Amino acid sequence: MAALRTHLVGAVYQWAVESGFSPFILVDAARPGVQVPPGRVEDGRITLNVDPRAVRNFAIQDEMLSFQARFGGQPFLVSLPIMAVLAIYARENGRGLSFEGEDEPEPPTPATPLAEGAAPRKAPALRRVK
């Protein structure tokens, strides 16, 4: 799930920048690994302007997002797991993606044995049609 979210966040970010919009992200600041200015967090969340004109060294890696920004004139390195991103959108029109309600996927459950009397599934058969 994190890999998909990484690609989706990156795609919306790129779309916003290429369209001349200001990309903003909504972050769950209570997640482990989130490094944001603590005085800016409200109700466990923070909204960050990630426009290239507002930040430096913006990077989306496999499961992390990071950049440098100024808060109250002071430089700060923002770093957060991609799973902490709740939404990414363009400030000007509000279009983007929301990940609220989505959580990390549960591990797959092991296959259950066939119930008594159930026939095993056959593998699909392929045949050449001329």
Please compute the mean of the pLDDT values over residues 18-26 and round it to a whole number: 97
**In whole angstroms, what is the distance from residue 35 CA to residue 5 CA?**
19
Domain that includes residue 79, residue range: 2-98
User: Locate tokens 């200001």: which residue?
Assistant: 22
9 falls within a domain: yes
CATH number at residue 57: 2.30.30.220
Q: What is the pTM of this model?
A: 0.75
Of 45, 91, 81, whose CA–CA distance to 60 is shortest? Answer: 81
Domains identified in the chain, total number: 1
Q: Over the stretch 43-101, which tens digit does the pLDDT of each residue have?
A: 999 999 999 999 999 999 989 999 999 999 999 999 999 999 999 999 999 999 999 76
